[in-house]
Amino acid sequence: MQRRNFLTLLFGATAALFWMPINAVATAWNRAAFETTKLNEATSSLGIIEEIASDAILINAPDKAENGAIVQIEVKSNIVNTETISILVEKNPTPLIAHFKFGHGAEPFVVTRIKMAETSDVKIIVKAGSNYFTNAKNVIVLENGCG
């Protein structure tokens, strides 16, 4: 009977520990940045004041997207000590598409699919230390994806 109680307690504690990080991430979510409708407001909500142009941010995205509902984007940062990568699309109803945080030693590389309302630059902002670096690529959207 003691073994069964121990296993029940062990599984309960493991489940509680599993859900705690998810709750912590949910509270750290920057709702204002994701809900704003203007690019400059989204960057301000992320705490970005000044951006430095950088070719060390590699963006692999199509020149022309047949359907704006599914646009695959690959981003790799060659900037040392990259902490975050943010993906923004100015002409979307909500410009901030994604904000990824990287732990120490994690490779700053992201592959994701995004929606684009119309032809626009896909802007990437990388935080490393107290600096913010940026690069952009224009993607021509042939069919609206945010209707």
- For residues 143 and 67, the answer to whether their CB atoms sit within 8 Å is yes
How would residue 53 be classed by pLDDT, with cut points 50, 70 and 90? very high
Q: Which carries the bigger pLDDT value, residue 82 or residue 3?
A: 82
Residues contacting residue 82 through CB under 8 Å, at least 6 positions apart:
102, 108, 126, 127, 128
Look at residue 14 and tell me if it is in a domain.
no
Any domain includes 103: yes
Contact 87, 134 (CB under 8 A): no
Residue 8, in any domain of the structure: no
Assigned domain for 86 exists: yes
Do the domain assignments include residue 11? Answer: no
CATH code of the domain covering residue 90: 2.60.40.2470
Q: Which domain holds residue 83?
A: 31-141
Q: 33 φ, ψ to 5°?
A: -65, -40
**3 state DSSP class of 41:** helix
Whether residue 20 is contained in a domain is answered as no
Q: Is the pLDDT of residue 147 over 60?
A: no
Residue 146 lies inside a defined structural domain of this protein: no
Q: Is residue 13 situated within a structural domain?
A: no
Q: What's the pTM value of the predicted model, to 2 decimals? A: 0.78
- Determine the pLDDT at residue 13: 66
Cα 93 to Cα 23, 44, 72, distances in angstroms: 27, 17, 19
Structural domains counted in the chain? 1
pLDDT of 17 reads: 59
Q: How far is CA 71 from CA 42, 91, 93, 114, 137, in A?
A: 21, 14, 16, 5, 13
pLDDT above 80 (res 85) = yes
In angstroms, the CA 115 to CA 28 distance is: 24
User: How many Å apart are CA 116 and CA 137, to the nearest integer?
Assistant: 13
Q: Please give the distance of CA 85 from its chain centroid, rounded to a whole number.
A: 6
